[in-house]
């Protein structure tokens, strides 16, 4: 809820709020549009503010997609499919998504998957190796990894 619901914000106040919002972390256009809506900016003025943020380098979708993909992979351990779905939900162009998804290093991608599976395997109390394997597959699929890669990574593990 907008704290300033009684007082209309000036353009300068809106710009300052948007600059702070974008400076805090990388943002995509759909997030900024949502913020503009929260600030009760009329639809006709939305493009003005988006253009201002682009021109002053506060808003850059390429930078956002690169940071998002790297961050979700490195910090959360997400796979390409989950990253891709999340970016699509933010209305990011498919070509941009594909470009930055392919920037993820295949070697470290596979190692991250192996590491996640090893850690998860250590936490599972399951004795039956088949059931344990199924739980690991489900876990990795939920993280957004490709099934072929999951099976390949599981081959390298000793599940007995």
Average pLDDT over the chain, rounded to whole? 92
Residue 104 and residue 65 in contact, taking contact as beta carbons nearer than 8 Å: no
Q: pLDDT digits over 118-128, tens only?
A: 999 999 998 89
Q: What is the pLDDT of residue 159?
A: 67
- Residue 151 is predicted with a pLDDT of 95
Indicate the pTM of the whole model: 0.85
pLDDT recorded at residue 34: 95
- Give residue 2's pLDDT: 44
- The CA distance from 143 to 120, in Å, is 12
pLDDT computed for residue 97 by the predictor: 96
106 in Cβ contact with 79 (< 8 Å): no
Nearest to 99 by CA among 144, 73, 145, 65: 65
Is a pLDDT exceeding 70 seen at residue 30? yes
Per DSSP, helices labelled H in the chain are 11-24, 29-38, 43-55, 61-74, 80-89, 94-101, 106-123, 129-143, 147-155
Task: Measure Cα distances from 60 to 10, 24, 26, 65, 156 in Å.
Answer: 24, 14, 8, 9, 40
pLDDT category of residue 8 using cuts at 50, 70 and 90:
confident
Least confident of 1-5, 9-13, 29-33: 1-5
What confidence tens digit (pLDDT) does each residue in 40-84 have? 998 899 999 999 999 999 999 999 999 999 999 999 999 999 999
Q: In the chain, what are the domain boundaries?
A: 11-55, 61-101, 106-155
129 pLDDT higher than 70: yes
C-beta of residue 36 within 8 angstroms of C-beta of residue 49: yes
């Amino acid at each position: 809820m907008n704290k300033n619901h009684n007082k209309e914000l000036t353009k300068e106040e809106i710009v300052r709020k948007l600059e702070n919002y974008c400076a805090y972390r990388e943002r995509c256009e759909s997030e900024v549009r949502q913020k503009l809506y929260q600030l009760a900016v009329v639809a006709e003025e939305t493009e003005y503010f988006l253009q201002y943020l682009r021109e002053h380098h506060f808003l850059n979708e390429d930078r956002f997609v690169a940071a998002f993909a790297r961050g979700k992979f490195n910090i959360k351990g997400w796979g390409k499919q989950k990253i891709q779905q999340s970016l699509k939900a933010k209305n990011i162009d498919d070509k941009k998504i594909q470009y930055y998804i392919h920037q993820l290093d295949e070697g470290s991608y596979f190692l991250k998957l192996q590491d996640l599976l090893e850690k998860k395997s250590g936490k599972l109390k399951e004795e039956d190796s088949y059931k344990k394997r199924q739980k690991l597959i489900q876990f990795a699929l939920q993280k957004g990894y490709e099934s072929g890669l999951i099976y390949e990574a599981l081959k390298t593990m000793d599940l007995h």
